[in-house]
Structure 1
Amino acid sequence: MGSLSIWHLLIVGVIVLVLFGGKGKLSDIMGDFAKGIKSFKKGLSDEDQPKPTEVKPVEQKTESKE
Protein backbone atom coordinates (compact mmCIF):
# COMPACT_ATOMS: atom_id res chain seq x y z
CA MET A 1 0.00 0.00 0.00
CA GLY A 2 2.87 2.39 0.61
CA SER A 3 4.66 1.92 -2.70
CA LEU A 4 4.11 4.03 -5.78
CA SER A 5 3.46 2.37 -9.11
CA ILE A 6 4.62 3.67 -12.47
CA TRP A 7 1.18 5.22 -13.05
CA HIS A 8 1.36 7.23 -9.86
CA LEU A 9 4.78 8.56 -10.84
CA LEU A 10 3.61 9.43 -14.35
CA ILE A 11 0.59 11.33 -13.05
CA VAL A 12 2.71 13.24 -10.55
CA GLY A 13 5.24 14.00 -13.29
CA VAL A 14 2.54 15.35 -15.61
CA ILE A 15 1.13 17.55 -12.84
CA VAL A 16 4.59 18.92 -12.06
CA LEU A 17 5.20 19.65 -15.76
CA VAL A 18 1.87 21.44 -16.10
CA LEU A 19 2.48 23.56 -13.00
CA PHE A 20 6.13 24.46 -13.50
CA GLY A 21 6.93 23.73 -17.12
CA GLY A 22 5.77 24.99 -20.45
CA LYS A 23 5.74 28.54 -21.71
CA GLY A 24 4.39 29.98 -18.48
CA LYS A 25 0.70 29.88 -19.29
CA LEU A 26 -0.17 28.96 -15.73
CA SER A 27 2.13 31.61 -14.31
CA ASP A 28 0.45 34.20 -16.56
CA ILE A 29 -2.94 33.15 -15.26
CA MET A 30 -1.75 33.35 -11.65
CA GLY A 31 -0.21 36.77 -12.33
CA ASP A 32 -3.51 38.05 -13.71
CA PHE A 33 -5.30 36.59 -10.69
CA ALA A 34 -2.90 38.40 -8.34
CA LYS A 35 -3.45 41.69 -10.19
CA GLY A 36 -7.18 41.24 -9.81
CA ILE A 37 -6.88 40.66 -6.08
CA LYS A 38 -4.65 43.73 -5.68
CA SER A 39 -7.06 45.97 -7.57
CA PHE A 40 -9.96 44.58 -5.51
CA LYS A 41 -8.15 45.36 -2.26
CA LYS A 42 -7.28 48.84 -3.55
CA GLY A 43 -10.92 49.43 -4.41
CA LEU A 44 -12.01 48.40 -0.94
CA SER A 45 -9.46 50.64 0.74
CA ASP A 46 -10.50 53.59 -1.44
CA GLU A 47 -14.08 53.27 -0.17
CA ASP A 48 -12.96 53.42 3.45
CA GLN A 49 -11.13 56.71 3.04
CA PRO A 50 -13.33 59.80 3.23
CA LYS A 51 -13.49 61.84 0.08
CA PRO A 52 -12.07 65.35 0.40
CA THR A 53 -14.74 67.98 0.37
CA GLU A 54 -14.35 71.08 -1.70
CA VAL A 55 -13.96 74.21 0.39
CA LYS A 56 -15.21 77.42 -1.14
CA PRO A 57 -13.51 80.64 -0.08
CA VAL A 58 -15.66 83.01 1.92
CA GLU A 59 -16.01 86.49 0.47
CA GLN A 60 -15.31 89.21 2.96
CA LYS A 61 -17.39 92.36 2.96
CA THR A 62 -15.38 95.52 2.92
CA GLU A 63 -16.72 98.78 4.19
CA SER A 64 -16.09 101.72 1.95
CA LYS A 65 -15.28 105.08 3.50
CA GLU A 66 -17.11 107.82 1.67
Structure 2
Amino acid sequence: MGSFSIWHWLIVLLIVVMVFGTKKLKNIGSDLGGAVKGFKDGMKDGSTADGAAPPPSGQVASSAAVDKSTIDVEAKRKA
Protein backbone atom coordinates (compact mmCIF):
# COMPACT_ATOMS: atom_id res chain seq x y z
CA MET A 1 0.00 0.00 0.00
CA GLY A 2 3.06 2.25 -0.27
CA SER A 3 2.74 3.74 -3.75
CA PHE A 4 0.11 3.84 -6.44
CA SER A 5 0.59 1.86 -9.62
CA ILE A 6 -0.26 3.08 -13.11
CA TRP A 7 -3.62 1.29 -12.89
CA HIS A 8 -4.61 3.30 -9.82
CA TRP A 9 -3.83 6.57 -11.62
CA LEU A 10 -5.74 5.48 -14.74
CA ILE A 11 -8.81 4.67 -12.63
CA VAL A 12 -8.59 8.05 -10.87
CA LEU A 13 -8.25 9.79 -14.25
CA LEU A 14 -11.27 7.93 -15.61
CA ILE A 15 -13.38 8.93 -12.59
CA VAL A 16 -12.30 12.58 -12.90
CA VAL A 17 -13.21 12.62 -16.61
CA MET A 18 -16.57 11.03 -15.85
CA VAL A 19 -17.36 13.53 -13.10
CA PHE A 20 -16.23 16.76 -14.79
CA GLY A 21 -16.46 15.92 -18.48
CA THR A 22 -13.90 16.62 -21.15
CA LYS A 23 -15.18 20.11 -22.03
CA LYS A 24 -14.91 21.33 -18.45
CA LEU A 25 -11.41 19.84 -18.09
CA LYS A 26 -10.37 21.50 -21.37
CA ASN A 27 -11.59 24.88 -20.10
CA ILE A 28 -9.78 24.42 -16.80
CA GLY A 29 -6.57 23.48 -18.63
CA SER A 30 -6.72 26.48 -20.96
CA ASP A 31 -7.47 28.85 -18.06
CA LEU A 32 -4.55 27.45 -16.10
CA GLY A 33 -2.25 27.74 -19.12
CA GLY A 34 -3.31 31.36 -19.69
CA ALA A 35 -2.67 32.18 -16.04
CA VAL A 36 0.81 30.67 -16.17
CA LYS A 37 1.59 32.56 -19.40
CA GLY A 38 0.36 35.81 -17.89
CA PHE A 39 2.47 35.24 -14.79
CA LYS A 40 5.58 34.57 -16.89
CA ASP A 41 4.94 37.70 -18.98
CA GLY A 42 4.47 39.72 -15.80
CA MET A 43 7.72 38.45 -14.36
CA LYS A 44 9.50 39.21 -17.63
CA ASP A 45 8.09 42.77 -17.71
CA GLY A 46 8.95 43.33 -14.06
CA SER A 47 12.63 42.69 -14.65
CA THR A 48 13.24 45.39 -17.28
CA ALA A 49 16.73 46.87 -17.38
CA ASP A 50 15.65 50.54 -17.34
CA GLY A 51 13.61 50.06 -14.15
CA ALA A 52 10.77 52.28 -15.36
CA ALA A 53 7.49 50.44 -15.05
CA PRO A 54 4.60 51.55 -17.26
CA PRO A 55 1.61 52.98 -15.38
CA PRO A 56 -1.22 50.54 -14.68
CA SER A 57 -3.89 50.55 -17.38
CA GLY A 58 -6.78 51.27 -15.02
CA GLN A 59 -5.29 54.35 -13.35
CA VAL A 60 -4.64 57.91 -14.50
CA ALA A 61 -0.94 58.74 -14.82
CA SER A 62 -1.18 62.49 -14.19
CA SER A 63 -3.78 64.95 -12.92
CA ALA A 64 -3.74 66.77 -16.30
CA ALA A 65 -5.31 63.72 -17.96
CA VAL A 66 -8.36 63.69 -15.65
CA ASP A 67 -11.67 63.73 -17.51
CA LYS A 68 -14.03 66.63 -16.78
CA SER A 69 -16.86 64.19 -16.00
CA THR A 70 -15.08 62.60 -13.02
CA ILE A 71 -16.36 63.39 -9.55
CA ASP A 72 -13.97 64.34 -6.78
CA VAL A 73 -15.19 62.39 -3.78
CA GLU A 74 -12.92 64.22 -1.34
CA ALA A 75 -14.30 67.61 -2.46
CA LYS A 76 -17.84 66.48 -1.66
CA ARG A 77 -16.81 65.41 1.83
CA LYS A 78 -15.09 68.73 2.56
CA ALA A 79 -18.09 70.86 1.53
Shorter-chain TM-score bucket reads: 0.3 to 0.5
Query: TM-score, length-normalised on structure 2?
Result: 0.39
Between the two structures, name the one with larger relative contact order (CA 8 Å, sep ≥ 6). Answer: 1
Structure 1 length as normaliser, TM-score? 0.46
- Of structures 1 and 2, the larger Rg is shown by 1
